[in-house]
Structure 1
Amino acid sequence: MSVLKINNLHKNYGNIHALNGLNLEVEAGQVYGILGPNGSGKTTTLGIILGILEQTSGSFTWFDNKYGDNPRRRIGAILETPNFYPYLDAISNLKIVQRIKKSHNDDLDEILRKINLYERRESKFRTFSLGMKQRLAIGATLIGEPDVVIFDEPTNGLDPQGIAEVRTTLQDIADSGKTVIMASHILDEVEKICSHVAIIKKGNLLATGSVGSILSTDTTVEIGATDMNLLKNILSNISSIKSAIDRPGFIECSVANEDQFENIVKSCIDGGIVPTHIIKRKKRLEEEFLEITKETA
């Protein structure tokens, strides 16, 4: 089932083109990351699909219009810094959100357990760390049992512990079957949390698909030796190596699949080389992102 369809979306701010014909489709159950550097149009996209901003042209559809003109009752979202009453405790703040959303059947204790704040449910909001404040905001999006939850830079400004806590919370929400849409410029978070990704830059869609399909199947092999000239000669005769780049202390080779790793090592040993440095790694989203955005710079 299609949860969200974005068709040829444009947004102009005077002479600035924040979005240039954006087309996206999010399916139910996906954890969809909208990835791009600051100023790429991520927050603008979320603002439009939530009805906060008006597009210059183009259209979008929630749930194939299943809920008519009122899809927002099936959506929970955070777009800005969490805002709660600092002198109230966690449970009281969530009750206020309940009243605003006109939702009456939520199990607030269960929500607090899900975001790992149950033990602090009677603590005042002002005593919370940044990570705890962000998790409470995530909990507020779950009130009303939405089908879709939307987060804009959910780990922005957090320390490593806060990032890990929020990441775990988002993964738990995704595992519960909800559709998650997350905008971020932090590649590591998108790679760890999301099943699908759209890469945008300056309002243009550069790539979209499952994280697995965006990532290249190539394997990178770093290999170094005492005699670098002999190593280069050996590597130049291995047909499975697609590219070889000189790095300080080693040569970075790209091969079509990781099965070629043992062949490279064997060829070196047979040629009289004992590697002093050897690492095998799959290409990560960060490398792929840099290549995609560099090509369109």
Structure 2
Amino acid sequence: MTDPAAPPSVRPQRRAPARALMQTAEALRLAAAAGFADFAAIHTWRTWLFGWLGRVLCQVAFFALIGRLLDSADSTRYLLVGNAVLIAVMESMFVVASTTWERRTGVLPLLVAAPTDPVLVFCGRSAQWLASGTVSATIALFVMAPVFGVELPMPRALLVVPLIGLVSVSAYCFALVLAGLVLRAMMLRNVVGNIGWLCISLVAGAQVPVQALPDWLRAVGFVSPARHGTAAVRATLDHRPGSEVLRQAGLELLVAAGWLTVAVLTFRRLAEHGRRDGSITFDG
């Protein structure tokens, strides 16, 4: 219990952790609000629904058709589910490009000079891709599954929605690492983002079973975003035990935490170098 008679110099120190937490939440909220404002400038509901979402559905249908060409219902199901989940990864990888906007507009030097940790701004600034990716992937799965005759057990299938969200978060944390690196070579932003997404699609078990990969690729995939989240989605839809779903979801959460830690270190190193040598400019 706080002593009301305590000196003023003592009472603020006791409230410092709570104040710091509130300031962190506020910084993330404001950064996310700026991100969603950018998203609203890019898309109207019409362009998102008939432009972006239409493109997403066509992409999932393309891979599902490969299963049809193989005349295999199992392959169709495998490819449809895996590529629907990968949509969340693809949108999260847009972080690599959108993070460079701060440097192009001249905001990055101000962020580095501000008292607020710039890592918080970078973590919240592209949150719009998390929301859009989760929604896009979920719609792709639930719309295209009936089209290709893939049965989704209801209401159990609804449990995949938070799992897809977890995949988005995991890929987002990985994309932040790439974004921190690309800030020093912005001309590579789209190349790095696309290569990152393609590499994840290769090792995540979305296109081919993990068992078919070489041992070294399996090892890489174990710490890759989406690997365990995709497995959790498949386990949910295949009526496997809840313990298996929770285990895979827990591993995905650990992967996300690991990449987030690396992202924080990457951005802090960038900020420290920028303060020391003045290398943070408009175009890097």
TM above 0.5, yes or no, is no
Output the TM-score relative to the length of structure 2: 0.23
| Bigger radius of gyration among the two | 1
Output the TM-score relative to the length of structure 1: 0.23
* Greater strand fraction, Structure 1 or Structure 2: 1
